[in-house]
A and B are shown apart, each in its own frame.
Chain A
Amino acid sequence: MTRQRCCDHSDKEELLETRRGREEVTMKGLSGSRCCFYMGFLVGTLSLYFLRQVWFEMSMEPDVLGEGQDSSVAALSKKRQASDSNNWRMEGATLINLNHPHHIGEDSSVADELYRKVRILCWVMTGPSNLQTKARHVKATWSRHCNVVVFMSSIDDPDFPTVGLGTGEGRDQLYWKTIRAFHYALEHHGNDADWFLKADDDTFVVVDNLRWVLSNHTPEEPLYFGKRFKPYAKQGYMSGGAGYVLSKEALRRFVEGFKTKVCTHTTSVEDLALGQCLEKMGVLAMDSRDTLQRETFHPFVPEHHLTGKFSKSFWYWSYCYYPIVEGPRCCSDLAVSFHYVDAELMYTLEYWTYHLRAYGYRYRYRPPLSQGLVERQAQTERPTVGTAGRGRTPAGITVGGDGDQSKAESGAKPLSDKGGKETLGKIPIDNNRTAVTQERQG
C-alpha cells in the first residue's frame, strides 16, 4: 500500500498514521528488523522527495529577472569610481592616464603597443557652463583612451579638473584659447606626448584609430592631420570641430611662431588662423584618409555622413579638400572623429566602437600596420587568423549571406583553403593584406 503512494504529498498524513499503526503492531510483537526496514523505506522516500523539491526550487531561483542585473550594475558603478582613481593620476589640472582601458576577453596587444609608441595628449576646448552638460561626457568616454588629457577652460576648476587659460568665453575667444592651450601643452607636457590633439567638447574621437593614422609618421616631422578644408590657405587647413592633431615638431614651430611674431592673433576663426600660422612655419597639412581614400575625421555626426544628402549649395561642398563621398564610403571603418555629438550620442558611439560587435564577423577592411609594428603584428596575427588560442587553422566557417551563396559555400572550410571562391578569397598570414581588401572593393 505504502509503495504506491510514496511520492504523493497529500497522502503524507495517511503514511504517518500507517507508521504509527505499524509501531503499534510492532509493539504487539512483529519482527523488529522488518519494522525497521519499512520505517527506513518511508524515511528514505520522503526525504528524497523533499530533497528533490528543494533542489528543483533552487534551480528555479535564477528566474527572478532583473534583480541580478541591477546588483551587478551597482557593483560596476562602485568599481568604476574606484578604478577612476586607479586609471587617472591628477597632476594639477591634467589627467595622466595610468591604464589603457581594457575589455574582458579581448586581445589588445596591438592597441597596447600603439598606446606605448604613439603617445597622444588630448586637450578639450570647453568652458565653465559646459562642464556638466558636455565636458563630463567626454571625460567619461573617449578621453580615457588618451595618454594625457587636459580640459581647457577660461577659468581654473580644480575639481573637474580644468585649466584656466585666463581668457573670456565665446566664439571670439576661440583662437586666444587655442593659442594659450597649445602653449600650456608644450610647456607642461612637451615630454609626456608625441602628438597633440585638439578637440571640442562635442567632438567624439576614437583615439586608437588616431594612433593607427599616426603610426606611419614620426613626431619629429612638422605635420598636422585633421579634416582638410581647402579655402583661404594654400595647403588647406583642418576643421576645428572635427579635431586636429599636431606633431611635436609642429607644436614647437607653432609656439616659436608666436615668440618670433611670425604668427599673431589674426582672427577668432581658430581653425583657419592656426592653419595659416602653421603654413607660415613650414608645417605640412597631411592627408588623413585611410588606404581606400575614405575620410577619417568627420565634421558632422555619423548619420549625416552616412545617410544625409548635402544640398549642392551647402558650404561643405566648396570647402572639402578631397572629393565628398556620400553613403557608406563616406567614412572609414577606422573613423577617428565626429562632431556635433550630444551626450547621448557620445555614449552611443562609445558603445558602438568599444562594445557592440558582431560575433566572429570578419571585417571587410583589414588594413596593414606601419613597418615598425609589423613584426609584432605577424606574431599575434597567426592565432587571430586561425581561431581562439588553438594555434592552428580553424575548421569551422559559416558563410553569412543570401540563399544561393550559402548553399554553394555553406559548411566548414578551413581558412587555409585558398580556393577560387570570391568570398573566401585569399587569407594571407603575411602582411600583404592590402591586396585582399583592394580586390574586394573592386
Chain B
Amino acid sequence: MLSEGSSFVKGIALGGTFCLLLSLLGSFAPGMQSSPEDHHHHHIKAPTKDELQSLSDSQMVELSQRVRVYCVIMVQPSVLVYWSTAKDTWGKHCDQAVFYSSESAKALEAVDLNEQDEWAKLRKALKHAYDNAGDLRWFFVARPTTFAIIENLKYLILAKDPNEPFYIGHAMKSGELEYVEYQSGIVLSYEALKRLVNVFKDEEKCPERGRALWKLSEEKQLAICLKYTGVFAENGEDTQGKGLFNSKSVGSLIQDSMNKNNLDVVEGCCSDLAITFSGMSPNQMQVMMFGVYRLRPYGHNFHDSLIFLPPEGSDND
C-alpha cells in the first residue's frame, strides 16, 4: 500500500513539473525575448512612490539617463497655427522634438516627407526617427492638436526597459484588434520601433499602401504591423487606474464629469499626472502651459524622486 501511495505522489510531482516545463518551452517562440506575461497585460501603470524609493541611487541615475523622449510630431501646412503652438509649448519639453510634414512650409522647420497618404507619412516619419534617434530610447508620436506633458510620460515609463517592446497610449478595441488611439498620443519603446521598422520591409504583413477594400486608419495599420512582431497595445494608467492619455480637452472632460456626478467633479475627471489632452485651441494650449507648469498653491510640496529642469529660453513654463 505504502509503495503504491508514494509512487502515486511521485507521479503527481513528476507530472506537474513536466507540464510546467512543456508550457515554458511552448512559450519560447522565435524572436520573443521576454515572457508572454508582459504582452498579455494590457495596462501599464505608473510606478508607485514605494517602488521608486526602493531603488538605489545608482539605479535612479541609470533610469534618469535612460528616460529621454524623441517626439515625432506629424504636421502639415494647413495646421500651421497648431504646429507653431506645439513648438512653442509642449514640444520644448521633449529631449528632441522633430516635426514631420507632408510638404515643406517656409515658416517652420520640418522634415519634408513629400507624402500625402497618412499611413505612408507615418511610416516614413517613424523610419526617420529610428534612424536619427541617437541615444534616445523612447518615442512619442502625436499631431500638434494634441497637448502632452512629457514629464508625466517620463514618469510612466520610468521603470520600463526600452529594450523591451512597448506600445502605449489610450488603448482602444476594434473587433479583435487592440490599438492605441492616435489622437491621444502613441508611445513606442526603442525595441518596438526597431521591430516595426523591420516589419515595414514585409509587404505581405505590413504593406505601405493598404490593399484592403476599405482603407484602414493609420492607427489601426500601425497596430496590425506591430501585432505581427509580437507587440501589443497597452493602456497607460496612473497608480489608481485612471487613464493618462485623453483624446478630449480638460474642459470637455470636466463637463463630462459635471454631467455624471455633481459631488466629485475634479476627482472624477482626470488624473493628476495626465499625459495628454486633445481638442484644445492654440490659445488654450498656452493656458495649459500656465496651468501645468506654473499655477500652483503655495506651500504644497511633492517630494518626487526625480527632478526635471525647465527648458532654456522659455517664458511660458
Contact = CB atoms under 8 A, between A and B. Distances in A.
Interface of A: 3, 6-7, 32-49, 52, 56, 59-60, 62-63, 65, 68-69, 72-74, 76-77, 80-81, 103, 105-114, 140-141, 145, 206-209, 211-212, 302-303, 306-307, 327-329, 331, 333-335, 343-345, 347-365, 380, 383-384, 387-390, 394-403, 405-406, 410-412, 415, 422-424
A114 B265 contact: no
Given A72-B240, A113-B299, A43 B12 contact: yes
- Point out which of A32, A45, A211 has the most chain B C-beta atoms below 10 A from its C-beta: A45
A114 B298 contact: yes
Complex A-B, nearest 10 residue pairs according to Cβ-Cβ distance, in ascending order: A40-B11, A44-B15, A111-B299, A352-B291, A44-B12, A208-B297, A110-B299, A388-B303, A396-B64, A412-B61
B159 interface: no
Interface stretch (B41-49, B202-210, B213-221): B41-49
A328 B152 contact: no
B155 A356 contact: no
Contacts of A47: 12, 16
B7 A33 contact: yes
B19 A45 contact: yes
A405 B92 CA distance: 11
A115 to B, nearest CB: 8
Contact of A360 (B258, B287, B306): B306
Contact of B53 (A40, A74, A362, A389): A389
Interface string B222-254: 000000000000010000111100000011001
Given A37-B7, A380-B301, A397-B306, A44 B241 contact: no
B199 interface: no
Contact of B149 (A35, A343, A358, A383): A358
B13 A107 contact: no
A409 B5 CA distance: 69
A80 B264 contact: yes
B11 to A, nearest CB: 2
Q: How large is the interface on B (under 10, 10 to 19, 20 to 34, 35 or more residues)?
A: 35 or more
Nearest to A49: B19
A47 B16 CA distance: 8
Nearest to A423: B309
A232 to B, nearest CB: 32
Given A357-B296, A400-B92, 7 more contacts: A7-B26, A40-B13, A209-B298, A356-B250, A359-B154, A397-B309, A405-B312
A74 B151 CA distance: 30
A211 B298 CA distance: 8
A371 to B, nearest CB: 16
Given A41-B11, A105-B49, A384 B303 contact: yes
A52 B26 CA distance: 14
Nearest to A440: B310
A76 B264 contact: yes
A411 B312 contact: no
B290 A41 contact: no
Contacts of B20: 48, 52
A48 B251 contact: no
A154 B171 CA distance: 52
B315 A329 contact: yes
Contacts of A45: 15-16, 18-19
19 contacts: A40-B7, A76-B268, A106-B302, A327-B316, A333-B295, A351-B270, A354-B300, A358-B149, A358-B292, A358-B308, A359-B151, A361-B293, A361-B310, A394-B57, A397-B308, A398-B154, A400-B95, A402-B311, A406-B95
A69 B255 CA distance: 17
Contacts of A329: 315
Interface in B275-291: 283-284, 286-287, 289-291
Contact of B273 (A68, A359, A384): A359
B104 interface: no
B9 interface: yes
B3 interface: yes
B80 interface: no
A394 B60 contact: yes
Given A81-B263, A329-B315, A387-B303, A401 B290 contact: no
B211 interface: no
B254 A348 contact: yes
B149 to A, nearest CB: 5
Contact of A352 (B6, B292, B303): B292
Contacts of A356: 250, 270, 272-274, 291-292
Given A211-B298, A356-B272, A347 B266 contact: yes
Contacts of A62: 41, 43
A107 B11 contact: no
Contacts of B308: 358-362, 397-400
A97 to B, nearest CB: 15
Contacts of A348: 250-251, 254, 291
A108 B299 contact: yes
A362 B95 contact: no
Nearest to A405: B312
B201 interface: no
B301 A395 contact: no
Contacts of B309: 362, 397-401, 423-424
A395 B60 contact: yes
B118 to A, nearest CB: 27
A207 B297 CA distance: 8
A303 B108 CA distance: 25
Contacts of B120: none
B65 A7 contact: no
A66 B53 CA distance: 29
A77 B290 CA distance: 29
B293 A303 contact: no
A295 B101 CA distance: 40
A343 to B, nearest CB: 7
B58 to A, nearest CB: 7
B23 interface: yes
Given A44-B15, A49-B19, A384 B301 contact: yes
Interface in B1-53: 3-20, 22-23, 26, 37, 40-43, 49, 52-53
